[in-house]
Amino acid sequence: MLVLVAVQYTVSPGDTLQSIAEQYCQGDDPRQVAEFREGIRELNYDVIGESDVWAGLVLEINRWE
């Protein structure tokens, strides 16, 4: 049974939305990772909008486990 888990992730220097999505996405299909990346953006849109992330930013990430 899958459960939706909310995770807080503090962005490290050098991180990008893409690298974070690659770390947390459970598949490695590029389309799946791109969808996951945009899901992170949507969940945190009030903070990051269309820009990329910066060190020290705390992101909310939802994932199925």
pLDDT score recorded for residue 37: 96
Interhelix angle 17-24/30-43, nearest 10 degrees: 110
Structure confidence at residue 64 (pLDDT):
86
- Angle at CA 15, nearest 5°, toward 13 and 21? 160
- Residues facing residue 15 across a β-bridge: none
CATH of the domain at 28: 3.10.350
- The boundaries of the domain holding residue 56 are 4-64
Give the count of domains, the chain: 1
pLDDT score at 33:
96
Distances (CA, A) of 31 to 12, 14, 36, 46, 57: 24, 23, 9, 24, 25
Reading the chain (65 residues) residue by residue, the pLDDT tens digits are 899 999 999 999 999 999 999 999 988 899 999 999 999 999 999 999 999 999 999 999 999 88
